[in-house]
Structure 1
Amino acid sequence: MKKIMIMVAIIAIASTKLTFAQSKTDVAFNQLLTAYYDVKNALATDKKDVAAQKVKALSAKVDAIPHKDLPAAQHTLWMAQSKIIKAKASELAAGKDIKAQRKSFEMISSAMIKTVRNIKFNNATVFVQHCPMAKASWLNEKENVENPYYGSMMFDCGDVTETIKSK
């Protein structure tokens, strides 16, 4: 009987630690997603300087992800996607015009879409939207389209192509 109680206690402690680690990781990923939305919203409203500033916060959030807590397959995916996000965030921050920033944002969006689909950390519904003119997709916190690739020229151009429910 003592052995069974000890085993139950060990399993309970191990699962509590895993749950806590995942929730800490989920919080960090959700902060990253919020920072991503800030960049997307700046580009959608043609605010080049705000986008350059917000992408620095996005880059810092990438660094803050406790990725060592992820299962092996997710860790491998995150390491690849985070490298893309960081490189393109640096490009976006240095972008001289909004067109160049938007081009960098395409790859950030692609990496973020792969991350959300495969790690499934989001605590709110995420909408994958696509602009046929830009031939590019992005994530949005709202179902209403807010196009970061054309901004005020075609603010609501695009469609919701996928809905990723909250975890």
Structure 2
Amino acid sequence: MTACNGNQQNEHDDHDHDHHEEMEARDGHDHSQMEENYNEKKEEESMHAQHESIRDNFSHQGIIILDDTYQTGVAAKFQLKEVVSAYLEMKNALVNDNIAETDKAAVKMAQKAEAVDGSLFKEEGEGAWQQHALLYSDKLAEMRHVDGLDEKRSYFSHISEIMYCTVKSFDLAEDIELYATYCPMAFDEKGAYWIAETKEISNPYFGSKMLKCGKVKEVL
């Protein structure tokens, strides 16, 4: 009887031990899942705060950025995306430290912006695009009239701010991947943004000197 009771007790102890391990494993899994969910939530909150910070920063500079995305027609969206495409060509020319190609892309971007049919926009969309178009015209003209890469890059930073507001206001990243990317070292560590078509960092403010300096701050 003693042996039998002893075996029963051992079996009971083993069962308790297994149950305890199972509870620990489950609790550990639950804790890991909770921690993962918490980290994801904090990351989303951080990204949202960054988005608001970028938006507020540019809107405080007087650039119109619509709170509600303006839904353009097919023709207007095509024309706006042509402006974005020319901007990306200019960005890539600066990445490659190529002044001639930068100027060529700046001329093309100015032409594409001027070719956008303003009559295709109504109400708040019309006001936003009229302002953006005027800003593009001014900054691109000024950019073409300076000689050095550093000076051109300074104007490019302003054009990039306008481009961010254009992309966000008219939902131009709907079927193309665009990223708001930030270099903290640009312009004596004042920092500057640019819009890129890839997550891979190719810095237009430093080119070959510091090609990989930067971080994606927002998926547009």
Unaligned runs of 5+ in 1: 1-18
Distance (Å, rounded) in 2 between the aligned partners of 1:71 and 1:148:
34
Matched, 1:143 2:199: yes
Letter in 2 for 1:158: G
What is the RMSD of the two structures over their aligned residues, measured on CA atoms?
1.4
Q: 2:160 aligns with which of 104, 109, 114?
A: 109
Distance (Å, rounded) in 1 between the aligned partners of 2:81 and 2:121:
15
Distance (Å, rounded) in 1 between the aligned partners of 2:111 and 2:162:
16
Deviations 1:107-164 (A, max 9, x none): 1100000110111133301111010111110100111111111111111111000001
Residue 184 of structure 2 is matched in structure 1 by 132
Residue 158 of structure 1 is matched in structure 2 by 214
Residue 145 of structure 2 is matched in structure 1 by 94
Distance (Å, rounded) in 1 between the aligned partners of 2:118 and 2:203:
30
Distance (Å, rounded) in 2 between the aligned partners of 1:69 and 1:100:
35
Shift of the alpha carbon at 1:61? 0.4
Distance (Å, rounded) in 1 between the aligned partners of 2:121 and 2:128:
10
Residue 51 of structure 2 is matched in structure 1 by none
Give runs of aligned pairs for residues 31-110 of structure 1, distance below 5 A: 31-110=82-161
Give runs of aligned pairs for residues 11-22 of structure 1, distance below 5 A: 22=73
Give the 4+ runs in structure 1 shifted more than 3 A. none
Contact 1:106 1:137 (C-alpha < 8 Å) held by counterparts: yes
Give runs of aligned pairs for residues 5-16 of structure 1, distance below 5 A: none
Contact 1:129 1:139 (C-alpha < 8 Å) held by counterparts: yes
Unaligned runs of 5+ in 2: 1-70
Distance (Å, rounded) in 1 between the aligned partners of 2:74 and 2:118:
12
Letter in 1 for 2:111: A
Distance (Å, rounded) in 2 between the aligned partners of 1:145 and 1:83:
30
Question: What TM-score results when the alignment is normalised by the length of structure 1?
Answer: 0.83
Structure showing greater Rg: 2
Further displaced range: 30-39 or 81-90: 81-90
Contact 1:42 1:48 (C-alpha < 8 Å) held by counterparts: yes
Distance (Å, rounded) in 2 between the aligned partners of 1:145 and 1:86:
28
Deviations 1:38-82 (A, max 9, x none): 000000110011101110000000011122212311221111121
For these two proteins, the number of residue pairs brought into alignment is: 145
Contact 1:52 1:94 (C-alpha < 8 Å) held by counterparts: no
Distance (Å, rounded) in 1 between the aligned partners of 2:118 and 2:176:
21
Distance (Å, rounded) in 2 between the aligned partners of 1:157 and 1:59:
28
User: Percent identity of the aligned residues?
Assistant: 25
